[in-house]
Amino acid sequence: MAPEAQAGRQPSPAIIFDTLNAYQRTRALKTGIELGLFTIIGEGNTASKAVAEKCGASERGTRILCDFLVISGFLTKEGNSYGLTPDSATFLDKRSPAYMGTVSEFILSPNLVENFDHLTEAVQKGGTAGDTKPLEPDHPMWVRFARAMAPMMAMPSQLMAQLVDPTKDKKLRLLDIAAGHGLFGLAFAKQNPQVEVTAVDWPNVLEVAQENAQTAGVADRFQTKPGSAFDVDYGTEYDIVLLTNFLHHFDVGTCETLLRKVHAALKVGGRAVTLEFVPNDDRVSPPQAAAFAMMMLGMTPAGDAYTFAELDRMFRHAGFGRSELHELPPTIQRVVISYK
């Protein structure tokens, strides 16, 4: 509820009650995904009894879950008939090419969620009070990340490749830092046969990226450099360096150290392309990008959702010229293109 909605009415504890129970929305969506409920409804089972039978669940439990998912904006209800919203049909029905139900396995893995059991301590100390092992080399979490999050990145990776290489007719050497599933670099290679991709990440993660390069049919233009993005020798004379969802894990000084290395790897006129949650200068809009700062407070020692002004300053300190901010609709992220 926006503050302006509170003007002109009696104070109400509804928002407090809603927010204290918001964790139930998280759990209900996870359960809906686990039971395949959205796929079952998408297949035309619309009454709670039919949905329950197909889910292998009780009718009562299914009815309460479905109603709650209507209230939460994931299902429609007409009479006693449930249906998918456009968002659910696109992203939560397994038959959709954009299905991304797997992201819940990563986003809600216990070692991430449990960080927020210690949020008060994190606010006190100014960084995560939980487990920081995931930031160490070769942590298996990043393999899970690469596998589970790939479906969520299919659309943004295509949109970014179209934004950055709209003509698709020039030879481009591209370095993909902390490539993970590799989809961002691979999207460039898929749309432009003259793109050659070099991916940096931990060895165990690069196996996932290599699989995705095979699947995309571009393995002959895909090579890897295993190791830490802070240590590995990138090589030089790249046209493009991708930094997708990476800088937010680190403090400004660490980011600038990395960006100097990125700058050295680019040819003159080359571009660093950053995909990030970029809040406006007010740090409270747009809401999803701004809220990502909380994710970093809970989970990292000193990460943040950086504003464009902060990113621009980091890039300039690292030797870059101007940076440009681009929206990437309908995603909730933004792209910063910085020129050497």
Stretch 21-50 residues interacting with a copy of itself (CB under 8 A): 21-31, 34-35
322 binds a copy of itself (CB under 8 A): no
**Alpha-carbon distance 250 to 42, whole Å?**
41
290 binds a copy of itself (CB under 8 A): yes
Q: What is the DSSP letter of 242?
A: E
Q: Which of 47, 53, 54, 107 binds a copy of itself (CB under 8 A)?
A: 107
Q: Which of 6, 81, 228, 280 binds a copy of itself (CB under 8 A)?
A: 6
Please state the closest distance from residue 54 (CB atom) to a copy of itself, in A.
13
Look-up of token digits 């937010």: 248
**Alpha-carbon distance 237 to 242, whole Å?**
14
- Region binding a copy of itself by CB under 8 A among candidate stretches 141-149, 166-174, 216-224, 279-287: 279-287
Query: Three-state SS for 327?
Result: strand
Single-letter residue type at 229: A
Q: Which of 43, 47, 89, 317 binds a copy of itself (CB under 8 A)?
A: 89
Please state the closest distance from residue 190 (CB atom) to a copy of itself, in A.
21
Per CB under 8 A, contacts with a copy of itself among 120-149 are 120, 122-127
Smaller CB separation from a copy of itself, 238 or 250: 250
Write out 134-197 in H/E/C secondary structure: HHCCCCCHHHHHHHHHHHHHHHHHHHHHHHHCCCCCCCEEEEEECCCCCHHHHHHHHHCCCEEE
Please state the closest distance from residue 279 (CB atom) to a copy of itself, in A.
8
Q: Which of 43, 47, 54, 70 binds a copy of itself (CB under 8 A)?
A: 70
Look-up of token digits 């003007």: 7
Q: Which of 94, 232, 331, 339 binds a copy of itself (CB under 8 A)?
A: 331
Please state the closest distance from residue 147 (CB atom) to a copy of itself, in A.
17
95 binds a copy of itself (CB under 8 A): no
Query: Exposure string (b/e) for 200-224, b if CB count within 10 Å is 16 or more?
Result: bbbeebbebbbebbeebebeebbeb
Per CB under 8 A, contacts with a copy of itself among 48-67 are 55-65, 67
Q: What is the DSSP string of 260-322?
A: HHHHHHEEEEEEEEEEE----TTSS-SHHHHHHHHHHHHHSSS-----HHHHHHHHHHTT---
85 binds a copy of itself (CB under 8 A): yes
81 binds a copy of itself (CB under 8 A): no
330 binds a copy of itself (CB under 8 A): yes
